[in-house]
Amino acid sequence: MIKVMRYFLVALAGLFYAQSASAQVSIEYGEYLSAECTACHLLSGKESNIPTIIDWDPESFIAVLTAYKNKELENKVMQNIATRLGDDEMASLAAYFATIKPKEENE
């Protein structure tokens, strides 16, 4: 189910990316903002009931956050978080999480 949802969300990327194309991007700012995200989403890349958000392409990441912000995707927690984020914050978070690669099983 998680994989199906992820493919659906990635398909939405083209619809929403244009909104954030002019945003200021800072990986350092994204790392600073990431604490709220990593309280639930694991940096290891392992999925449980909460999908991974590392190693996504930034366009897809922004598209998903925008869909939550516009209440086009259902999840009250994510809607609440996304509505507080501006374009610069979304772009910076997307840039930061794109730099994190999944850990190998034996690490």
Tell me whether residue 107 is in a domain: no
Tell me whether residue 41 is in a domain: yes
pLDDT of residue 22: 57
34-82 pLDDT per residue, tens: 999 999 998 888 878 899 999 999 999 999 999 999 999 999 999 999 9
CATH number at 66 reads 1.10.760.10
Place of tokens 């501006």: 86
Question: Residues near 14 by Cβ (< 8 Å), separated by ≥ 6?
Answer: 59, 63
- pLDDT range class, residue 20, cuts 50, 70, 90: very low
Tell me whether residue 105 is in a domain: no
Tell me how many domains the chain contains.
1
List the one residue out of 47, 60, 67, 69 whose CA is nearest residue 97: 60
pLDDT of residue 45: 81
Residue-range definition of the domain harbouring residue 72: 2-98
Return the H-helix or E-strand segment holding 23: none
